[in-house]
Amino acid sequence: MPIASDVSLGRDVRIFQPDLVNLYGCTIAAETKIGAFVEIQKNAAVGARCKISSHTFICEGVTIEDEVFIGHGVMFTNDRSPSSVNPDGTLQTEADWTVVKTRVKRRAAIGSNATIIAGVTVGEHALVGAGAVVTHDVADYAIVAGVPARVVGDVRDRREMNPVATTPAGLPGRERRSVPGSDKDYT
């Protein structure tokens, strides 16, 4: 049963391929859309009117507020020191770690193939570029891109499509386009 009985689904949640997802113990609020090959773990919460695109993994400890866009192949994490076993070689269980929490605030957008390191907060209206690895908090309205992700712009300045930004190190003489982007909505 890829949608476990303990999942809380709000009104008009749309799951396009219910046999091709793995949802358990999570909360999904009203009108959110969920693509194929998505896994959402227990104790994760997704707000209303979000889009969670295909191939994305949302782990325990992640809170996604309302009206957030999550691209394809986005991976959240909740442990900065993952391990299969304890030092004595026994398999780790829930007693052996503490979940590090992550929050994505209202109307943020996270591009495809981005990786979100445990413990960060992505601010309201912020835009995380496709393929970015987010290791620090992202301010409201910031555009970040790269590995590790650095600020390359502000969504409020963004009337043109391809903002030009300085390099991560701020060196003069090089320019770098931000790399936001994802696919269009499912219809």
Which residue is catalytic, options 55, 72, 125, 136?
A: 55
- Considering the complex, what minimum distance in angstroms separates the CB of residue 183 from a copy of itself? 4
Sign of CA dihedral 66, 68, 74, 77: negative
Q: Is the separation of the CB atoms in 141 and 155 below 8 Å?
A: yes
Give the residue with the Cβ less far from a copy of itself, 2 or 123. Answer: 2
From 128, 104, 105, 137, select the one nearest 182 (Cα to Cα): 128
d(C-alpha 132, C-alpha 110), whole Å:
9
- Considering the complex, what minimum distance in angstroms separates the CB of residue 8 from a copy of itself? 19
Chain centroid, CA 134 distance in Å? 10
DSSP SS3 for 169: coil
- Considering the complex, what minimum distance in angstroms separates the CB of residue 45 from a copy of itself? 15
- The verdict on whether 55 is a catalytic residue reads yes
Q: Is the separation of the CB atoms in 153 and 137 below 8 Å?
A: no
d(C-alpha 39, C-alpha 62), whole Å:
12
Catalytic positions: 55
